[in-house]
């Protein structure tokens, strides 16, 4: 692998890995700066600046084309927004994210009624359509490298399709995860003495976005990743993710939407077809976070997909299961979430006022409330319109 000296050029998602620096805002003042508009904001076309590349790990990635991840905000062309700073633009993009955290389905577990979906979260608008396109291009490039033998042996796997539903291509980074007892007798779980390739720069930028935008908790910054590539008719059978990985973890969907099934008792009716109590649609670009009962009591599976699909799953390894040669990535050590500051509230209030002018009529405003894990918007306030 040493002769492969090229690197993927670093992509950039707007913002550093720390808290945003203070900026003076020229936004108009409001009577109630605490109120924020909760809802889907309009999109703006942007450019992003290149981020640094981690040069401390040997890389096997070779790409002649610069991987640029559009953050959806730089170079704002809409009238009245050119004066916004990069921090303000990121706050606006952050405000576009929508989240569902109230999944509910009761099953009897050990004789007690239990919401087996508690802990699931579905976030949308985290990655723009242009960003999704660049991520998919990167994955396809990795697949080409795997087919050419340019990735470590346990990084890339492309099993033969022997029965309906199997044959999923996988690409692993950070650790080698064994799905079943292998030919050497290794049990399922992380194989600590096997090496795979380090995380690509693009994927590290995705992780930073997830933490900065409060999708993942900063105490659980992922250090491993698995890419699943589905052809039409491929599935993942019912399972609970191995506890060599901590909770929460997340999976991001690309190319085509599909359904994921959850339930304490899922069963197969025939190869690739499963029966379960709950089916959750996963929109393209959505981020599904699993923790609590949704990760540890309910099993989940993906029935045979109707069209090509890619998923990228980010997880943090248990410290006692880290590969023997593991080294923490300095780019991911200090990543922190964006803070809710008066600047953020002002930007959101200004967006709310423009939305009302365009669409007409007052809207229900809500105040953000900080919980132990992330920001929610549960407290309705009277409209200021």
Report phi then psi at 363, rounded to 5. -125, 160
For residue 159, how many C-alpha atoms fall within 13 Å in the half-sphere facing its CB?
13
Domain count, the chain: 1
Q: Where are the extended beta strands (E) located within 156-298?
A: 156-157, 169-173, 176-178, 189-191, 224-230, 236-239, 249-254, 258-263, 267-270, 273-275, 278-282, 287-290
Q: 355 near 38, Cβ under 8 Å?
A: no
Q: Distance between terminal CA atoms of the chain?
A: 63
Name 16's Cβ contacts closer than 8 Å, sequence gap at least 6: none
Asked if residue 361 belongs to a domain, the reply is no
What the block records as the tokens of 255 is 């190319």
Asked if residue 304 belongs to a domain, the reply is yes
Asked if residue 14 belongs to a domain, the reply is no
Asked if residue 314 belongs to a domain, the reply is yes
Could you read off the pLDDT tens digit of each residue along the chain, which spans 385 residues?
Answer: 443 334 344 444 443 333 333 333 332 333 332 222 223 333 322 233 333 333 333 344 433 223 334 343 333 334 455 678 878 888 888 988 999 999 999 999 999 999 999 999 999 999 999 999 999 999 999 999 999 999 999 999 998 777 778 889 999 999 999 988 888 888 999 999 999 999 999 999 999 999 999 999 999 999 999 999 999 999 999 999 999 999 999 999 999 999 999 999 999 998 889 999 999 999 999 999 999 999 999 999 999 999 999 999 999 999 999 999 999 999 999 899 998 765 555 555 655 555 555 555 554 434 343 333 333 333 333 333 3
Asked if residue 232 belongs to a domain, the reply is yes
CATH number at residue 202: 2.60.120.590
- At 170 the three-state DSSP class reads strand
Asked if residue 40 belongs to a domain, the reply is no
CA distance linking residue 340 with residue 165, whole number of Å: 45
pLDDT at position 179: 87
User: Which domain, by its residues, includes 168?
Assistant: 98-333
DSSP lists the bridge partners of residue 122 as 100, 288
CA distance linking residue 21 with residue 23, whole number of Å: 6
Q: 254 near 194, Cβ under 8 Å?
A: no
Asked if residue 321 belongs to a domain, the reply is yes
What is the enclosing helix (H) or strand (E) of 314? strand 309-315
Asked if residue 17 belongs to a domain, the reply is no
DSSP lists the bridge partners of residue 290 as 249
Q: DSSP string covering 151-184, please?
A: S-TTTEE-----STT---EEEEESSEEESS--TT
């Amino acid at each position: 692998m040493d002769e492969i000296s090229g690197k993927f050029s670093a992509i950039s998602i707007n913002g550093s890995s720390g808290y945003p620096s203070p900026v003076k805002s020229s936004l108009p003042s409001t009577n109630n700066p605490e109120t924020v508009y909760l809802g889907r904001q309009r999109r703006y076309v942007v450019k992003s600046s290149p981020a640094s590349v981690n040069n401390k790990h040997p890389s096997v990635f070779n790409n002649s084309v610069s991987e640029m991840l559009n953050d959806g905000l730089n170079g704002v062309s809409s009238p009245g927004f050119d004066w916004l700073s990069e921090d303000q633009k990121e706050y606006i993009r952050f405000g576009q994210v929508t989240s569902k955290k109230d999944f509910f389905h009761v099953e009897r577990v050990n004789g007690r009624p239990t919401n087996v979906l508690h802990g699931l979260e579905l976030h949308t608008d985290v990655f723009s359509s242009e960003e999704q396109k660049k991520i998919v291009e990167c994955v396809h490039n990795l697949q080409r490298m795997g087919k050419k033998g340019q990735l470590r042996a346990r990084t890339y796997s492309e099993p033969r399709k022997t029965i309906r539903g199997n044959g999923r291509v996988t690409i692993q980074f950070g650790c080698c995860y064994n799905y079943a007892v292998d030919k050497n007798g290794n049990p399922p779980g992380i194989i600590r003495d096997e090496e795979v390739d380090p995380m690509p720069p693009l994927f590290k930028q995705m992780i930073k976005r997830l933490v900065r935008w409060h999708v993942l908790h900063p105490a659980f910054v992922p250090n491993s990743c698995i890419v699943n590539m589905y052809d039409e008719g491929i599935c993942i059978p019912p399972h609970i993710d191995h506890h060599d990985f901590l909770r929460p973890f997340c999976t991001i969907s690309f190319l085509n939407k599909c359904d994921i099934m959850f339930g304490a008792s899922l069963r197969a009716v025939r190869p690739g077809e499963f029966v379960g109590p709950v089916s959750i649609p996963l929109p393209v670009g959505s981020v599904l976070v699993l923790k609590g009962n949704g990760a540890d009591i309910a099993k989940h599976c993906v029935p045979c997909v109707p069209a090509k699909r890619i998923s990228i799953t980010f997880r943090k390894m248990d410290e006692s299961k880290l590969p023997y040669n593991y080294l923490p990535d300095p780019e991911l050590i200090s990543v922190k979430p964006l803070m809710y500051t008066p600047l953020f509230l002002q930007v959101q209030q200004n967006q709310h006022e423009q939305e009302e002018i365009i669409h007409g009529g007052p809207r229900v405003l809500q105040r953000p409330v900080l919980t132990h894990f992330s920001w929610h918007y549960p407290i309705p306030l009277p409209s200021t319109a």
